[in-house]
Structure 1
Amino acid sequence: MIGGMANSPISAPTPRAASVATERLLLRPVRQADVPAITRLWTDPQVRHHLGGPVAEQVVRIRQRRVVGAPGVHAVVRAADGVLLGIVTVEPEAREGETEVSYQFLPEHWGHGYAREAVAAVVEATLAGTPSVVALTQEANHRSRRLLEAVGMTHVSSFVEYDAHQVLYRRSR
């Protein structure tokens, strides 16, 4: 679900934040032109492998109408060429009152450190305005677990939810 942050200053993202920038990336509100790539995130079997599988067509249509400018949903684009790589979502008070960060990236952009960079930037910025941030991933999602640990999050609990073994990570100020 959820990278190394560049040493550039960023402002704390609020649910309606305009953008967050890192050395290589711009995290900004979703635009209409982003919808086809984001639809791929919701329907790609590789992306959705640890997220319960591809989203049903009816749900995709509803999400397509709601994602543009949605509070807390950041389109992650490569600053050099504007290519959409994925999304990072910030949900205040999502899990027992704590802010939850989640992410999805298109498979062709995996392994380049983009997710780690984007997630690290969002976690750092979010911690400026909230005492802690959590992230949830499946126990079997080893890549996501390594990413969460790389951005300073700590495994705090394991449990079964959504018919799968889950792990909850937290980072506090």
Structure 2
Amino acid sequence: MTVSPHPAHHVGPLVTARLVLRRVRSGDVAAVTRLWTDPLVRQHLGGPVIESVVRIRQRRIVGAPGFHAVVRAEDGVLVGLVTVEDGARNGETEVSYQFLPEHWGQGYAREAVDAVVARVLEGAPSVVALTQEANHPSRRLLEAVGFEHAESFVEWDARQVLYRRRA
């Protein structure tokens, strides 16, 4: 993954009503590793990441621009990860996200994704997000924060839906 300089990558922590989004720290690596290896989290993302790739990612994620650790403001518990990748799809900025299952259904993902996308749109005309057609919770989240269906296609042996939100 190539993450290039973007205003969303260099501004300090992003604070919402309940969350703080900041760069990944070494203390976050165990929770982030769970995101990469949890079968429920990875159900619509091609399955758990293999061990050798996890080790490479663990060395690269701490402090990396474009990766936003999502922690609860009240207690600092990491609940998820939102990633911003410039030029990922046809030159557009792409936002992706993963949240630990025990934090699903509490609105954290919606709050975090909405905040990150709003920041990205301060410096980009649009942002895209991709999910599997079968991932109905993710599709509802994207639509709830203002993304619109842009196209559908088959990739990685599954029906995919590309969403776009414009500034």
Name the TM tier (shorter chain).
Answer: over 0.9
Say what the alpha-carbon RMSD is for the aligned residues: 1.0
Query: How far apart are 1:14 and its partner, in Å?
Result: 2.4
Is 1:48 matched up with 2:42? yes
Q: For 1:29, which of 23, 37, 52 is the aligned residue? A: 23
C-alpha displacement of 1:158: 0.1
Of 154, 158, 162, which residue of structure 1 is paired with 2:156? Answer: 162
> 1:101 aligned to 2:95?
yes
Q: Which runs of 5+ in 2 are unaligned?
A: 1-5
Specify the SS of the correspondent of 2:47. Answer: coil
For each residue in 1:95-145, what CA deviation from the matched residue of structure 2 results, as whole angstroms up to 9, or x when unmatched? 101000000000000000000000000111110110000000000000000
Contact 1:134 1:171 in 2 (8 A): yes
Matches within 5 A, 1:147-158: 147-158=141-152
Identical aligned pairs, as a percentage? 73
Q: Please show how residues 8-23 of structure 1 align to structure 2 within 5 Å.
A: 13-23=7-17
Q: Considering Cα pairs closer than 8 Å and 6+ residues apart, tell me whether 1 or 2 has the greater RCO.
A: 1
Q: Give the length in aligned residue pairs.
A: 162
For residues 17-39 of structure 1, give each alpha carbon's deviation from its aligned partner in whole angstroms, at most 9, with x where no partner exists: 32111010000000000000000
CA distance in 2, matches of 1:17, 1:50: 30
Query: How far off its partner does 1:59 sit?
Result: 0.2
Counterpart-to-counterpart distance in 2, 1:124 and 1:64: 28
- The residue type paired with residue 34 of structure 2 is R
1:69 aligns with 63
3-state SS in 1 of match to 2:110? helix
Match of 1:8?
none
Does 1:126 find its partner at 2:120? Answer: yes
Aligned to 2:85: 91
**Aligned-pair CA distance for 1:163:** 1.2
SS, match of residue 34 in structure 1: helix
TM-score by length of 2: 0.95
* 3-state DSSP of counterpart to 2:102: helix
Structure-1-length-normalised TM-score: 0.92
Letter in 1 for 2:13: S
Moved >2 Å (runs of 4+)? 12-18
